[in-house]
Amino acid sequence: MMKRTIIITIIVFTAITLALIIFNKVISRDKSQNLYAEAKRGLLEISVANSGELLAEKSVDIKGPEIDMGNQRQRGGGPGGFSRMRAMNFEIQDIVAEGTMVKEGDYIAQLDRTEYDNTLKDEIENLTTFTANLEMKILDTAVTLTDLRNDIKNQQYVVEEAEITLAESKYEPPATIRQAEISLNKAERNLEQLRKNYTLRRAQALVNINQQKKAYADGTEMVQTLQEFLSQFTIRAPSSGIVIYKEDWNGTKRKSGSSINPFDRIVATLPDLSSMISQTYVSEIEVSKIKEGQKVIISIDALPEKSFTGTITSVANIGEVLPNSDAKMFEVLIKVDGSDNTLRPSMTSWNKIIINIINDVVYIPTECVRTGSDGVTYVYTKKGDKQVVLLGEMNDKNIIVKEGIEPGDMVYLIQPEEPWKFKITGEELITQNLEE
């Protein structure tokens, strides 16, 4: 039994020892692989990469109510209701969810119309008064002119009677004839006075009626305009598209409860999804490398399985300080090639701007390169050399080595533990190195 236990112990110990040896070899091999990088020959892409945001190149604004105040005043519209509406904000009472797909004419939002409903109610009451005043004025005028016409008719009879009396008195004494002439003359003067009075009263009545008609017309126009104005408080889609809330200057979006400035009446927008751009920002250090027409590879966080291409269409001339950043950043706009119905405004994009593509060059990872206190650049090689190198352009991962390294050479990714043991080679490149 003792002997069997010893044998089992030896076998287990041997297995553990072999496992540790194999494990150490694997770790050593992995550590060795992670310690070095191979110099490669091929194509090197020089690029600048930054995050961005998708925007629609074109969009249709969905706007709140508008009224032409100048024309209303010219046509006689009262300034009371209109001027107040012109100066006041509009509150969004209800709005569809952002991202809703709509067709032309579909409901978008409802603005609070309480204040303007009260104005309409007042104007309707005014119009009722104008209507009653006009009807009363027309009726009064008809009665008054009828009485005046009757007075004229009666006076004509008086004139006729005076004429008959004068004709019959031709054989009477001269005094009687004279009395008849005076009566006729007086009757004719009264008739002429009645006719003039009728003409004046009729003209005056027409002026008053026209004033009442104008007040009635203005009141009618006021009510109609208010009704048309209030009909705009129910906002509908001017075209088909996806609803995107309007963003204010402070970054907040207009939604239910927000106020709409009468000078900025946009409630939401309908972006044209067939033409998208990516808005990104580059630092003042990188902006000198960015030019219009450069190609861009675009990836979208929400669509990791897809990749897009684009072209730079605009580079800002003036930098700006973005929130949470002290450095000046320059806006760059990138037009996405083609169209894709999965792209949406506000999606986060990653934009790799292709600055240059250099063929047939030797390159190594940038972390392999060291710079001495004298400014000389060098690398540590697996062969045990501290090799001076001449460098070229670089991207975010690799750097071109013009001289000093050949394809296939293995160089340290990190500084070796005993760097003083490495011999300096390539000293003939030091002068060129410093010049560059």
The pLDDT tens digits for 352-398 are: 998 888 999 999 999 999 998 888 999 999 999 999 999 998 888 89
Q: What is the mean pLDDT of residues 91-96?
A: 90
203 and 149 in a common domain: yes
On whether residue 175 sits in a domain, the answer given is: yes
* Higher per-residue pLDDT: 190 or 24: 190
Domain assignment present for 419: no
The reply to whether 196 and 117 lie within a common domain is yes
* pLDDT exceeds 50 at position 36: yes
Quick check: is 295 in a domain? Answer: yes
Residue 31 predicted with pLDDT over 50: no
Looking at the fold, whether 195 and 135 belong to one and the same domain comes out as: yes
Domain edge (last residue) among 357, 375, 401: 357
Among candidate residues 201, 216, 232, the one where a domain is terminated:
232
CATH number at residue 301: 2.40.30.170
CATH value at residue 172:
1.20.120
Percent of the chain with pLDDT over 90: 33
Query: In this predicted structure, what is the pLDDT of residue 273?
Result: 85
Flag whether 423 is in a domain.
Answer: no
**328 shares a domain with 227:** no
Q: What is the pLDDT of residues 108-146, one digit of tens each?
A: 999 988 878 888 888 889 889 888 888 888 888 888 889
Domain range for 126 is 113-232
**Per residue in 223-266, pLDDT tens?**
888 888 888 889 999 988 889 888 887 778 888 888 887 788 88
Residue 171 lies in a domain: yes
Residue 277 has pLDDT above 90, yes or no: yes
What pLDDT, in 10s, does the model give residues 99-115? 888 999 999 999 988 87
Residue that the structure tokens 């150490």 belong to:
24
* In a domain? residue 143: yes
In this structure, the answer to whether residues 122 and 214 fall within a common structural domain is yes
- 142 Cβ neighbours under 8 A, 6+ residues apart: none
Asked if residue 304 belongs to a domain, the reply is yes
Q: In 193-228, which positions are buried (b, 16+ CB within 10 angstroms) versus exposed (e)?
A: ebeeebeeeeeebeebeeebeebbebbebbbebbee
Handedness of CA 7, 9, 11, 13 (dihedral sign): negative
Q: Tell me, yes or no, whether 221 and 280 share the same domain.
A: no
Rg (the chain; Cα; Å): 48
Reply yes or no on whether the pLDDT at 72 is more than 50.
Answer: no
Confirm whether 219 is domain-assigned: yes
How many domains is the chain built from? Answer: 2
Last residue of a domain, one of 357, 392, 421: 357
pTM over 0.75: no
CB 321 within 8 A of CB 275: no
Rounded CA separation 216/126 (Å)? 9
Q: Tell me the C-alpha distance between 140 and 148, whole Å.
A: 12
Whether 133 and 225 share a structural domain: yes
Residues 299 and 211 in one domain: no
